[in-house]
Amino acid sequence: MWSLVVFWVLIVPLIIVMAIVYATGRKLYRLLYILSVFTYAMTIMYAIDAFDLSKNAIIILLAISSLLMILLGLKFRKKKIKRGKRK
């Protein structure tokens, strides 16, 4: 299972990068963004490894997951507040 090896190879640098980002900025949202990208990548890699997908199935899986992320982003985005000029 190569996804397990990739997980452990990537988790150590991820922890180091997260520590550096937190130490420089002290902002939690940056850590959550990095962690969500890592989780997304590991989920896709696990699905590819566990189901032994072909090239076309991998592309379809990536397209569906990208479309899902775009739709979720559109649903949860913040609406811009227009501020009027004060006289």
Q: For residue 57, what pLDDT is reported? A: 93
- Grade residue 86 by pLDDT with cuts at 50, 70 and 90: low
Q: Has residue 41 been placed in a domain?
A: yes
Asked if residues 27 and 70 have their Cβ atoms less than 8 Å apart, the reply is no
Among 28, 56, 61, 25, CA closest to 43: 61
Q: For residue 33, what pLDDT is reported? A: 86
Q: Has residue 16 been placed in a domain?
A: yes
Q: Which tens digits make up the pLDDT trace of 17-75?
A: 899 989 998 888 888 888 988 999 999 888 888 898 899 999 999 999 999 989 988 88
Q: Has residue 30 been placed in a domain?
A: yes
The alpha helices in the chain, defined as continuous H runs, are 2-25, 28-51, 55-76
* Reported pTM: 0.70
- The range of the structural domain enclosing residue 19 comes to 9-51
Asked if residues 34 and 18 have their Cβ atoms less than 8 Å apart, the reply is yes
Output 44 or 86, whichever has higher pLDDT. 44
Number of domains within the chain: 1
Q: Has residue 42 been placed in a domain?
A: yes
In 3-state terms, what secondary structure has residue 78?
coil
In one-letter notation, the amino acid at residue 79 is K
Q: Has residue 21 been placed in a domain?
A: yes
